[in-house]
Amino acid sequence: MSPVDGETAQRVAIFRDSSQEWRRLFSELFGTFLLVVAAAGGGVVAALSHGAVSRSAEVAAPGLTVMAVILFMGKISGAHLNPVVSLAFALRRDFPWRRVPGYVVTQLLGATLACLFLLAVLGNAGGLGATQPGPGINGWQALLIEMVLTLGLVSTILGTASGVQNVGPLSAIGVGAYIVLAGLWASPISRASMNPARSFGPELVGRARS
Instruction: Locate the domains of the chain by residue range.
Output: 3-202
Model confidence at 15, pLDDT cuts 50, 70, 90, reads low
**Model confidence at 11: pLDDT above 60:** no
pTM for this structure? 0.88
At 189-207, the pLDDT tens digits run 999 999 999 999 999 999 8
The secondary structure of the chain as a DSSP string is --HHHHHHHHHHHHHH-GGGHHHHHHHHHHHHHHHHHHHHHHHHHHHHTTS-S-HHHHHHHHHHHHHHHHHHHHHHH----SHHHHHHHHHTTSS-GGGHHHHHHHHHHHHHHHHHHHHHHH-S-GGGG---PPTT--HHHHHHHHHHHHHHHHHHHHHH--TT---SHHHHHHHHHHHHHHHHHHHHHH-----HHHHHHHHHHHHHH-
Model confidence at 208, pLDDT cuts 50, 70, 90, reads confident
Q: Among the CATH numbers 1.10.3720.10, 3.40.50.300, 1.20.1080.10, 3.10.20.30, which is that of 3-202? A: 1.20.1080.10
